[in-house]
C-alpha cells in the first residue's frame, strides 16, 4: 500500500514538473504569437497585456507589403529544400557505404565526419566568401545551398548510417543474389525501410538551413536573395524598431517548422531512437 502511494506521489510530482517545464518553454512562443496580433500602442503598454485586445493584422500586412517578407520566405524555401534534397541524396549513399559495405578506413572517415560536424562555421566564413566571389556565386541560391549541404551532410551521414545498421541484411542479400547493384539495392530495398531515418535527417537539415544567419548575411547581401533570418534582422530604420512587424514575421517563419515537426514527429523520434541501437 505504501509503495503504491509512493508511486502515485512520484508520478504526480513528475507530471507537475512536466507541466511546469512545458509552460516555461511555451511562454516565449505564446508571447511571440500574441504580440504579433497587437497594435503598436498596445505593444508598448504598461503593464503589458497578456491577450491582444483588439486582435489586429496590421503587423502581418506591413511585413508582407512594406517589407516584402514573402520574398524572404521564397528564398528560404528554395535554399532549405535544395540543401535538404542534396543532403538526403548524398547522405543516404555515404551512410549506406559506411554502414553496409566493406569500406577501408571506415573508422577514420567517421571520426573525420564527427569533427566536421562540430566545426564552427565562423572559422571558414572568410575563405568561403573569397571562394564564392571567385566563382561569381555571391547573391545567388547556390551560394547558400552548397555550404548548407556541406555543413549538414556529416550529421545526416551519421544518422542514416546508424539507422542502416539496424535494418536486417536478408533482403539485401537476396537482392545481391539476384544481381542487383549496390545503388539499386539502396534505392529499392534499403531506403523504403529507412523512411524514419530519412525524415529525421531531412527535418534537422531543413531546420538548420531555415534558421541559419551568418552565411546568409555574408554571401547574399542583395535584398532579392535574402533569407528569413537576415530579412527580419534588417527590419526597421535607424531610430525606429518595428517590434510588431518583427514579431509577425517571426511567427510566420516559425509556422513551417512547427508544422514539419508536428507532422513528422513520430518518424523523427523513431529515427533517432532506432539509430541509437547500434553505433
Q: Which three cell numbers stand for residue 162?
A: 546508424
CB contact at 8 A, 192 and 199: no
pLDDT band per the 50, 70, 90 thresholds, residue 23: very high
What is the chain's mean pLDDT, rounded?
A: 87
Q: Are residues 9 and 94 in the same domain?
A: no
Question: What pLDDT does residue 147 have?
Answer: 95
Q: Are residues 117 and 225 in the same domain?
A: yes
CB contact at 8 A, 42 and 55: no
Looking at 34, 58, 82, the residue that finishes a domain is 58
The verdict on whether omega for the bond into residue 224 sits within 30 degrees of 0, i.e. cis, is no
User: What whole-number percentage of the chain has pLDDT above 90?
Assistant: 48
Q: How far apart are the first and last CA of the chain?
A: 43
Measured CA to CA, the distance from residue 95 to residue 182 in angstroms comes to 13
Q: Are residues 17 and 144 in the same domain?
A: no
Which has more pLDDT, 140 or 182?
140
pLDDT band per the 50, 70, 90 thresholds, residue 87: very high
Per-residue pLDDT of 26-85, as tens digits, reads: 999 999 999 999 988 888 787 888 888 888 999 999 999 999 999 999 999 999 999 999
Q: Which three cell numbers stand for residue 191?
A: 531506403
CB contact at 8 A, 148 and 83: yes
- Name 50's Cβ contacts closer than 8 Å, sequence gap at least 6: 34
Looking at 40, 58, 76, the residue that finishes a domain is 58
Q: Angle 209-30-232 (CA atoms, 0-180°, nearest 5)?
A: 40
Measured CA to CA, the distance from residue 154 to residue 114 in angstroms comes to 7
What is the domain range of residue 141?
63-275
Question: What pLDDT does residue 129 have?
Answer: 95
Task: Report the sign of the C-alpha dihedral through residues 174, 179, 183, 189, in that order.
Answer: negative
Q: Are residues 185 and 145 in the same domain?
A: yes
Q: Which three cell numbers stand for residue 18?
A: 512536466
Looking at 41, 58, 75, the residue that finishes a domain is 58
Q: Are residues 18 and 116 in the same domain?
A: no
Indicate if the pLDDT at residue 275 is higher than 60.
Answer: no
Q: Are residues 150 and 100 in the same domain?
A: yes
Count the neighbouring beta carbons within 10 Å of the beta carbon of residue 39: 16
Measured CA to CA, the distance from residue 266 to residue 259 in angstroms comes to 13
In this prediction, residues 88-116 reach a mean pLDDT of 87
Q: Which ranges of the chain would DSSP assign to H, the alpha helix?
A: 2-36, 40-43, 58-65, 69-100, 106-117, 125-135, 142-165, 170-177, 182-185, 191-193, 195-211, 214-219, 228-233, 243-263, 265-275
Q: Are residues 21 and 74 in the same domain?
A: no
Question: What pLDDT does residue 192 have?
Answer: 86
Q: Angle 223-225-227 (CA atoms, 0-180°, nearest 5)?
A: 95
Q: Are residues 21 and 84 in the same domain?
A: no
Question: What pLDDT does residue 1 have?
Answer: 62
Q: Are residues 95 and 7 in the same domain?
A: no
Q: Are residues 237 and 180 in the same domain?
A: yes
Indicate if the pLDDT at residue 2 is higher than 80.
Answer: no
In this prediction, residues 136-160 reach a mean pLDDT of 94
User: What whole-number percentage of the chain has pLDDT above 70?
Assistant: 94
How many structural domains are present in the chain? 2
**Least confident span in 26-35, 111-120, 246-255:** 111-120
Q: Which phi and psi angles does 138 have, rounded to 5°?
A: -60, 145
Q: Which ranges of 101-181 would DSSP assign to H, the alpha helix?
A: 106-117, 125-135, 142-165, 170-177
CB contact at 8 A, 36 and 251: yes
Q: Are residues 47 and 165 in the same domain?
A: no
Per-residue pLDDT of 158-191, as tens digits, reads: 889 988 888 887 877 787 777 778 788 888 888 8
In this prediction, residues 105-113 reach a mean pLDDT of 87
Which has more pLDDT, 198 or 266?
198
**pTM of the predicted model as reported, rounded to 2 decimal places:** 0.87
**Least confident span in 12-16, 97-101, 244-248, 268-272:** 268-272
In this prediction, residues 213-232 reach a mean pLDDT of 94
CATH code of the domain covering residue 128:
1.10.3720.10
Q: Angle 125-159-127 (CA atoms, 0-180°, nearest 5)?
A: 10
Indicate if the pLDDT at residue 140 is higher than 90.
Answer: yes
Q: Are residues 89 and 188 in the same domain?
A: yes
Amino acid at each position: 500500500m505504501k509503495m503504491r502511494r509512493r508511486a502515485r506521489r512520484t508520478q504526480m510530482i513528475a507530471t507537475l514538473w512536466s507541466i511546469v517545464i512545458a509552460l516555461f518553454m511555451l511562454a516565449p512562443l505564446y508571447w511571440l504569437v500574441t504580440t504579433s496580433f497587437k497594435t503598436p500602442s498596445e505593444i508598448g503598454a504598461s503593464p503589458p497585456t497578456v491577450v491582444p485586445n483588439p486582435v489586429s493584422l496590421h503587423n502581418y500586412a506591413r511585413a508582407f507589403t512594406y517589407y516584402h517578407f514573402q520574398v524572404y520566405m521564397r528564398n528560404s524555401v528554395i535554399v532549405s529544400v535544395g540543401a535538404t534534397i542534396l543532403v538526403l541524396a548524398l547522405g543516404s549513399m555515404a551512410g549506406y557505404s559506411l554502414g553496409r559495405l566493406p569500406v577501408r578506413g571506415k573508422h577514420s572517415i567517421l571520426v573525420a565526419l564527427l569533427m566536421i560536424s562540430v566545426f564552427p562555421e565562423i572559422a571558414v566564413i572568410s575563405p568561403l566568401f573569397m571562394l564564392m566571389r571567385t566563382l561569381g556565386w555571391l547573391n545567388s541560391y547556390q551560394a547558400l545551398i552548397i555550404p548548407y549541404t556541406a555543413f549538414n551532410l556529416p550529421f545526416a551521414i551519421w544518422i542514416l548510417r546508424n539507422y542502416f545498421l539496424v535494418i536486417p541484411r536478408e533482403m539485401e542479400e537476396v537482392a545481391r543474389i539476384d544481381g542487383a547493384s549496390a545503388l539499386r539495392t539502396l534505392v529499392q530495398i534499403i531506403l523504403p525501410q529507412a523512411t524514419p531515418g530519412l525524415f529525421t535527417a531531412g527535418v534537422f537539415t531543413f531546420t538548420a538551413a531555415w534558421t541559419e544567419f551568418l552565411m546568409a548575411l555574408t554571401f547574399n547581401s542583395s535584398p532579392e536573395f535574402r533569407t528569413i533570418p537576415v530579412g527580419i534582422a534588417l527590419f526597421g530604420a535607424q531610430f525606429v524598431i518595428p517590434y510588431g512587424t518583427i514579431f509577425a514575421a517571426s511567427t510566420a517563419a516559425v509556422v513551417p517548422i512547427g508544422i514539419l515537426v508536428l507532422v513528422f514527429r513520430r518518424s523523427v523520434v523513431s529515427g533517432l531512437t532506432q539509430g541509437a541501437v547500434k553505433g
